[in-house]
Structure 1
């Protein structure tokens, strides 16, 4: 038994150029020195054509793979918090095995990280439900506390959204984006599933993003992100889908955006302690508020 810790998550890392993949298991532990939860790696598995994964029950996933440290073949049982999570793990590993198969080696498309790290490697995380004490940086107060008492002109982090940059809409309803979303030949990979967030919309434009009164709270949403390799443009995209309790929001509008990998640095930036600013168009700015810094880190690392 590796751990009975309830706060366990898996990170799947893929390098398409080297046709290699790994599954890393982490558990959360309290670090007295830093006085916060830290992620401690507990197992590193190599994913290849010999890896076998299946859903043995509604909540259980069975994985047969090689321990990358000892080269020992292990049979690992993972108890998930939900059936959807178990299905997502099996689906992601199966998709990766298919993408790394010899017949796929000539494909030009490869998912990459546009923010920090190699453009030939992706990291996709599937996280268990967080139980216990909420992060000190809970977003219900993070934005207010970050701005209150500070200069209203202060920016957080490295601002990447230029004020005078003219951009086309990244709405999935745009005819070009809709064509990419609906193309059955495009590769599609689930990168993040059902993260609970709070969505806000800017009422004052980019120059007012650090003013709390310029934001309108829309609702709580479930956030999922997919990676798409488009065969026509030969580019990679991030499909961001926001659903309220798995359905449409109160206004009858579904939020769905498509960001080209090359535009990520121009479209998103961190804001406050646990927020992600998204520039949908020149006139539409949204803020995705995460539960805390840990959840924001998980979200930000997808891109």
Structure 2
């Protein structure tokens, strides 16, 4: 397929691969840590340079990622690859720093219902919990990414007001987060809402270059929403190899935007990513065999070898 560029779009997009963390945390199958390590190595070999490796949450809450201490040391040979990890609190930060993590992320909610479901705290209480985490990470010269969940809709509260998202986003920026990932956790956003939120965040003094987008594909809107964000100037897009993932604390959340589906669109627009689509597709097929189910990615399905 020959690329057909669209004027005004960025020349290059950084894909923030979340499959090993956000993807696997919602899988029923518990993969061995050495399989996860090979998965991450295969992602890196396909050209992905930012791969969210794991989460240092308590094993009770996310048993799929209980092997973080065994997994992370197996990734030390990945020179030039950013390997951010999720940390929920100071204890999680301690565990991550002890293993040499050089980038961390915190996961905030913009709605009270999800903050209670995910963190058992109010929004303000969760931000207070993140305050020392972010401060200590920055003291250790470890940059922090802030995830904002439920930016567009919440399964308990319905549509989320833009000003509520802006308030939490501004708090995280003021605490020191280098980048914010705007999450459509249950996949209900449409392009007009994306434009409205990005415009409001810019109006609150948060520049587009500090924003990433993280869409789920519940209603098939993830690519349309991503393209809208690109037209606004966003250059970092979260995606999950093979479309893995959802959210264990929001049962209506379906899979993340598939990295392969994203790459097909970006390649068609002539936007560089540095990622080899064929090699990544092979990786997702390999992982699907370990998970015992087919990949939900339409691009993976289309590019898969067909039986005669």
With normalisation by structure 1, the TM-score equals: 0.26
- Higher-helix-fraction structure: 2
With normalisation by structure 2, the TM-score equals: 0.25
More relative contact order, 1 or 2 (CA 8 Å, 6+ apart):
2
